[in-house]
Structures are given as structure tokens and as C-alpha cells.
Structure 1
Amino acid sequence: MLGQGFVSAAAIAASVLFILSLGGLSNQEKAKRAVWYGIVGMAVAVFFTAFGPGIGGYWWMIPMIIIGSVIGWYVASRVAMTEMPQLVAALHSFVGLAAVFVAWNADLERRRVLAAQALGAGQQEFSAFAALVATKAPDELMFLQIEVVFAIFIGAVTFTGSVIAFGKLAGKVDGKPNQLPGGHMLNAGAAALSLVLAIAYISGAGFWTLLILALLAFFIGWHLIMGIGGADMPVVVSMLNSYSGWAAAAIGFTLSNDLLIVTGALVGSSGAILSYIMCKAMNRNFVSVILGGFGGVQSGVAAEIEGEQVAIDAGGVASSLNNANSVVIVPGYGMAVAQAQGAVSELVRKLRAAGKEVRFAIHPVAGRLPGHMNVLLAEARVPYDIVLEMDEINDDFPKTDVAIVIGSNDIVNPAAQDDPNSPIAGMPVLEVWKSSVVFVCKRGQGTGYSGIENPLFYKENTRMFYGDARESIDSLLSLID
């Protein structure tokens, strides 16, 4: 059993490692080291918490840690990069559900302590947490109840919201916005009733109030995310990340665990900031998105698209690439689905060996997760210095000979600028249509995940390179001089 001094020192060390980890993830070259900071920090946190003062039950705790570690390793080693957003959403759900269970247990312990004190029981009969509760004054107990309410509400919303986000990302739930009749009024009503139950609980009502509160929050989480469309999924993922952090922080206050408070606050604040950045990149109202698209109704009918999609074969694409001096590649989720990043990396190597300038243009919300495309390209060993963000490269498209779009739709859609009635009107996009010629690698003529038509596909300087992205890029490799 470790003393409290060791646990406090470990909490400070782990917090510093978590901060270094977050800071390092902002730079691709430091990201791998930053991940190790996070791994070591979490290992320190788990070890010193498990063997800290007042902790027992090792006969079941250690086997559970081992089982959980094995399951985590197995899942992480088998999950494909295309499934990473789903995995993140699933992990968020675990954090939310854990917060609900811990909060329920905390209130049961509080009630047991009060009942025991009424019977004159000694403090030595209590568990470590119950003993802590027994030392609290009435006003401190009220704050404990408030912490329990927050943990249950945020945790329950996070759980069901993350489950639905997982379903939408995995294609098991329809990606279109879908709410019950009454829509936002149902959410508002459930939230108001939750507030009434919270007040009743703090005023002395029974445990049943927390059970109903959790059910209402489960409904709100489910209904909120059901009302958010596929185009907003990157924001949803980062938003749920923030929710899971605040749920963890609330439980940290309940358990008087400084490390859990710091860790939860780091996750909650960074997730909220990332959500705001994503909304800005998509010209979405932050409050509207987190409220399930409230106020996000189109103001009119989107403009009809004229023209036709003109197909091209591998020979035609290769000919243009061989004659080009500058090439910009725009990756999207279609590249991830086809696992074409390796073939794309080889194409880039051949083009650069031929003396051509090749760069990547990354939109902030490309893929299903912030930074999704950067991770895929790093996995394929694409040099960091040719991977540029939207603001760094958008002005260069008029000077670009060939733009290749691989599995992207909304982030290269000119309707965002030209059609005020488009669902993505005002969203900053990559202006690939300003290049001399645009090749779009796409499976077919569908509208993609978000269901929004793209006028780019019908422009005179655009050619559609139909087929599986990996097979299409592979077919080019032997044709590049």
C-alpha cells in the first residue's frame, strides 16, 4: 500500500505527462513521442491509484485490469484505420457509462453512511469513500449531490450519444438527421424534467430520482445525435470527446481524486476547443450543432445542377500527370475505405522522382475524425512537408496543373460558395475547380455519405475516374514516366 504522498506526487507527474502529450500532438514530427507521454502518464495514474491508501479488493481488481488490457490490445491491434472514428466513439461511450455507475454508487454510499450514522455506527465500519463522506459537513454533502447529478446527466448523454455516433459512422444507423415528432421540444422538455428531478434529489428525494434522471439523459443523448447529419460527424466526435472529459471531471470531484479532475478537464476543454475549430471550418454554429442541429434548417431549395459527368480512363489521367508540373492531391474518406494510402504514396514517389511538384491539400474535416487524413498519410510514409492545410494551399489552385480528388465530396464542393441554399453554404472548401484539370476518383455517381450533390463533378475541366480508389491509383503507377 502506497502512502498519500506518493499518490499526490504521481498525480502531478501524470498530469504533466498528459499536458506534454496534448501539446506534442499539435506537431506531426513530435506526435509519436507525445503518444508515449500519454501512455506512460496513464500507466502511472492507474498504478498509483490502484495501490493508493484506502484501496482494496485486489483479488478482483487486478484480474479486471488484465482482462480489460488484453481486450483493449486485441481491439486496437485489429481495428483498421477506416474504423478508428467508430472505435473512438465506442470508447467515449464507456467513459460516459462508467461515470453513471460511479455516481450511482457514490449516492448509495452516501445514503449508507447517513443511515449508519443515524444508528451510531463507527467510522471504522465504512469503506474508504464512505469514510470520506462521513467527514463532510451538510453543505459539502450538498455539493457532493450536485456532482453526482452532473456526472449522471453528462455521462448518460455521452453514452447514448456515442452509441448512435458509432452506429452512424459504422453505417449501422442512417447518417441523415432523424428526430421524433416534436424534435427539439422533446429535448427541451426532457432537460427541464431532468432539472426538476435534480432539485428534488438535492432536496432529499429518493434514489429513484437518479434512475429517472439517467433515463431522461439517455434519451437526450440518443435524440441529439440522431438529429445530427453525417456531414457534421467530425464535430460530433470531438464534442462527445469533450462530454466524456467533463463526465470524468465530475466524478473526480465526487471521489476527491485530483488526477481524475485534471485529466477530465484536459479532455473536456481540448475537446470543446476542437469542436469549435471544426464548426468554424465547416461554417457551422457551435451551439446549433451541440443542440442537435437546432436552427440548421435550409433557407430554400438548392440550385439544380446542369451538365453531365464525363468519365476518363487510367491512360487519360496518366497522360495529364506526365505532362503536368504541379499536382495537388485531395484525400477523403473514400481513400481510407479503399485503403489506398499506400498506392497514393507510391504514386507521389514516382511523380516527384520525375521532377514534378506534388503536394497534399488537407481540409480540417476530411474523413470521419479530425486529423484522419494526416494519420493515414503518415502511416503510408508521405513526407510531412508536402502535406498542407487548407489555408496554406487554397490560393495555389489557380497555378496547379492537375488536382486529384480521392474519395471527397463536401470539402471540394463549389456549392458552398455559389449556392446560398445549399446545406453547406458558407462552408470553407478546397477550391480544386480552379486548377487546370481535376480528376475525381470515385466509386460511382452517388452523392456520398452526406447525401449532398456536388457541381464540381459536372464542370468542364473535371473528369470522373470511376472505380475503387486503390485499384484506380494502382492502374496509374505503370503508366507514369
Structure 2
Amino acid sequence: MNPGFQMNPQIIIDTSYFAAAFLFIYGLKRMSSPVTARSGIVVAGFGMLVATLASFLYVFGINEAAEPHLNTNVALAAAALGLGTIWAWWSGKKVAMTAMPQMVALYNGMGGGAAAAIAAVELLRPGAVHETVPLVLAILGALIGSVALSGSLIAWAKLDGRIDGTWRMPGQQVFNGLIFLVTLTIGAYIIFIAGGHAHSGVVAAFFAGALLFGVLMTMPIGGADMPVVISLYNAFTGLAVGFEGYVLQNPALMIAGMVVGSAGTLLTLLMAKAMNRSVANVIFSNFGAAAEEQQGEIKGSQKPAEAGDAAINMRYAAKVIIAPGYGLAVAQAQHKLYEFVKLLVDAGVEVKFAIHPVAGRMPGHMNVLLAEAGVPYDMIFDLEDVNGEFKDADVAIVIGANDTVNPAARTNKSSPIYGMPILNVDQARQVYVVKRGQGKGYSGVGLFGSGKRAVFR
């Protein structure tokens, strides 16, 4: 190599960002299959590491001559990175599978908050020159990121039981709309009148309005809709990160934000479709209240069964289909369940697991739970792939599920879950339901049934 040759630092940074973007996309692709999902997460994690190290090239002043304002406080940045890494590692190791949705909600919120913080730094930076398009995107990113932060924190508190029920008041949608309109007006003032150099008090009022709107928008939403809300805020976070990436001219942030935003949007739409509802209906309707008001008397026949009798029935069955729900996760019974399944398989019984798109409290929650117990992937089937087989099953077992198997979704037009696709467990020749109680499901609706259900504990 020519001793006089010197690599341009900007080339190193741009190449690193390209590599990080490739790793993000490739990792997301591998996450599409349970078989490769684990390695996909590792690949995407390496992408984030590469992007972080590339950012530190600015921190250490390699590009200081071209961008003097990027001479960041190295000690502060390193301390923040170290604290975040330690906290994430510790909390990730400690968190139970049943609390994974809460952790996802928190991480979503932190991503949105980080995007909003980037915008705040740009808006409050002395002597900054703001062009109109980057300024518009900075304000939009700040708005969306702030809403994702405060909304995700409320979703976490609801899922974690720190906030019980919902909070509503007369004319709440109108009030929420006014708060949003005022916040937009302040944002427009910062862009078109102040030119990005508004007083710090005005900027603070903008962020306060955005954070307040996130709280007000999330508080009325019922607990059964929290998975959709978390997915929606995930999309918000990605969108905010993409906007702020454009403001900073950071390709890694732009690509990562677009990937997360598009994936989160698609997931939100798929989940809403699985519940036979629109996203607008989730956000603007009083789903939880409707469930309580329209519950009505629980109908159907519930016949207790001895565990031994049920075991004999399943031992001599040709096909058994298991429909797990969140109750399985709470009981941490997946390992014992798989031990039982192996006994059936060894006896020549065909066993399949039927997974509803919204089983548990987040997409993929039940798949991960079963994989943790060692259940082979080829025994796990999605609703659309297995629903037609229930009529040929000798036994269907419902474990800790309610809304996802409730036949009221087909017939009871007054039920809040009417029209939601369900697992056709009631079409099996014999149905066993394992539940801690005989009351309501997560949506507040009781488990209606046909006369051939047996309940055992």
C-alpha cells in the first residue's frame, strides 16, 4: 500500500452505515421464520453495533473539520452507552416471558423518546441553520416520537397492572383533538414563523402537548387492544427515527426507521384484521367499556371432567389439537404441556398446536413460549392453516384461552368480539377447556359455548 495513502474518514462512516443497513434488513428477513428468527436478531444486533461504532467516529472528532458542531462530549456519550447496555442486558436476562410485552412497550417508548430528543437538540442548538424541509421533518419526528414515548409508557403500565381499567370522560375525543390541534399549531409556528429558532418555552410547550396527547390517546383504550397499540407505537417510533435520520443526514437511521416503520405498520394492520377491526376503531372506540356493558349472561353447558378420564380420551384419539392462550404463559405450564404431548406422540396420536394471531399479548408471544419448551416448529400452525382440521379432530384442548376460541364471535352481534376470526375448537368431537376460572376473557367477554364442552382443572 502507498504509505502516503490515507483513508477518508467519511468513506469509513458511509461504508459502516451501508453495512449496518444491510444487516438490519437481512436480520429482519431472517426473523420472518421461527427457525431463523434467533439468528436474525443476532444479525440485526451486529448491525446496530456497527452503526453505533460509526457514530463514534464523529464523537472522537474524525470528521470535526467538516462538521465542527458534531464534536460531542465523548465521556457523556460513552457513559450513556454503557448505562444503556448494562440496563438492557440485566433487564433482558431478568424479564419473564409473561412480561415480554411490557418490555417491548418500554423499548418502543425509548426509541420514540430518543427520536424526540434528537429533534429537541436540533431545535435548541444555538446558531443552527434550518432549511424548511428538514425542519418540517424534525417537528414531525418530534411529535410522533413524543406520542410514541408517552403512549408506550401508558401501554406498559396497563399491561403491567400499574394502571387498572381505562380512563374516560365526556367529550374526550373532542378534547384530545383540541390538544392535538394546539400542538400542531405550535409546531407550525416553530417552522414557518420562528424558522426553527423559537424561544425554549415555545419548544417546551410543543413537546408537552405531544406527550400529553400520547397519554390522552392511550388511556381510553381497553386492555384487549394493547397488542395493537404497542405495534402501532412501534411503527410510530420507526417513522420518527426515519425523519430524524433525514434531519441528521444519517443513512443508518433513515433505513432503520423506514424498515421498523413499515414492518410495524404492516403488523398493526394484520393484527387489526385478525380482530376484525380497523386501527381507527381500536384507537377511537371504547372497546373495554363496550365489553363490560354488553357482556350479558354466560350461556352454554360446562361439565367438569376428571383429568384421568380426559387423558384416556386423548390417549386413544387419532388427532388432538391444542389451542394455547395467555393463561398458559401465566401458569408457566408450557414445559409440562410438552411432556404430555410427547407421551401422546409416542402413543401414535397426531398432535398439533393452533396459534391465533393475537394469542397472548403480542404477536409471536405464544410461538416463543412453545419454542422455549422445545416444541418442534412443525407442530405449530397458524389459524388459517389449521382451522379447517378441527372438524376432523377427536379432541381439542383449550389452555388458558378465551376470546380467541369464543364462538360468540360468530353468532352474537351484541358481543364486542363479533366478527373476529376464532379457532374453530367447538367443531372438534370433544373439547376440553383448562382455565383458572369460568369468567371473562381479556376483552371482558365470557366464554360462550356449545353443549359439548368439558372443563377440568
Give me the TM-score of the superposition, normalised by structure 2.
0.91
Instruction: Give 1:53-132 correspondences, 5 Å limit.
Output: 53-54=63-64, 55-109=71-125, 112-113=126-127, 130=128
Alpha-carbon deviations, 1:193-242, whole Å to 9, x = none?
11211122221153323222222221221121112112212211111111
Which letter maps to 2:451? E
Q: Which residue of 2 aligns with 1:18?
A: 24
1:369 aligns with 2:362: yes
Which letter maps to 2:440? T
Q: Which region of structure 1 is more displaced relative to structure 2, 177-186 or 302-311?
A: 302-311
In 2, Cα distance between the equivalents of 1:71 and 1:314? 44
Q: Which residue of 2 aligns with 1:460?
A: 451
1:167 aligns with 2:167: no
For the residue of structure 1 that corresponds to 2:397, the secondary structure is: strand
Q: Which residue of 2 aligns with 1:255?
A: 248
Instruction: Give 1:299-448 correspondences, 5 Å limit.
Output: 301=294, 304-448=297-441
Shift of 1:296: 10
In 2, Cα distance between the equivalents of 1:286 and 1:147? 24
CA RMSD of aligned residues (A): 2.0
In 2, Cα distance between the equivalents of 1:4 and 1:323? 69
Alpha-carbon deviations, 1:277-335, whole Å to 9, x = none?
0011110112222446699968x956644345322231122121122111000111111
8 Å CA contact retained: 1:86, 1:169: yes
For the residue of structure 2 that corresponds to 1:51, the secondary structure is: helix
8 Å CA contact retained: 2:390, 2:427: yes
In 2, Cα distance between the equivalents of 1:12 and 1:179? 47
Q: Which residue of 1 aligns with 2:167?
A: 178
Alpha-carbon deviations, 1:328-379, whole Å to 9, x = none?
0011111111111111111111110000000000000101110111111111
Unpaired segments ≥5 residues, structure 1: 114-129, 134-139, 467-481
How has the CA–CA distance of structure 1 residues 6 and 439 changed in structure 2, closer, same or farther, with 3 Å as cutoff? same
How has the CA–CA distance of structure 1 residues 171 and 346 changed in structure 2, closer, same or farther, with 3 Å as cutoff? same
In 2, Cα distance between the equivalents of 1:356 and 1:30? 28
In 2, Cα distance between the equivalents of 1:295 and 1:433? 25
Report the identity percentage. 39
For the residue of structure 2 that corresponds to 1:368, the secondary structure is: coil
How has the CA–CA distance of structure 1 residues 327 and 352 changed in structure 2, closer, same or farther, with 3 Å as cutoff? same
In 2, Cα distance between the equivalents of 1:213 and 1:180? 24
Shift of 1:257: 1.2
1:151 aligns with 2:141: yes
Q: Which residue of 2 aligns with 1:48?
A: 54
Alpha-carbon deviations, 1:370-415, whole Å to 9, x = none?
0111111111111111100001111111111111111111100101
Q: Which region of structure 1 is more displaced relative to structure 2, 242-251 or 59-68?
A: 59-68
For the residue of structure 2 that corresponds to 1:28, the secondary structure is: coil
8 Å CA contact retained: 1:149, 1:210: no
How has the CA–CA distance of structure 1 residues 2 and 168 changed in structure 2, closer, same or farther, with 3 Å as cutoff? farther
8 Å CA contact retained: 2:301, 2:453: no
Q: Which region of structure 1 is more displaced relative to structure 2, 287-296 or 22-31?
A: 287-296
Match of residue 266, structure 2, among 264, 269, 273? 273
How has the CA–CA distance of structure 1 residues 2 and 303 changed in structure 2, closer, same or farther, with 3 Å as cutoff? farther
Unpaired segments ≥5 residues, structure 2: 1-6, 65-70
Shift of 1:63: 2.7
Which letter maps to 1:266? V
Which letter maps to 2:12? F
Shift of 1:44: 0.5
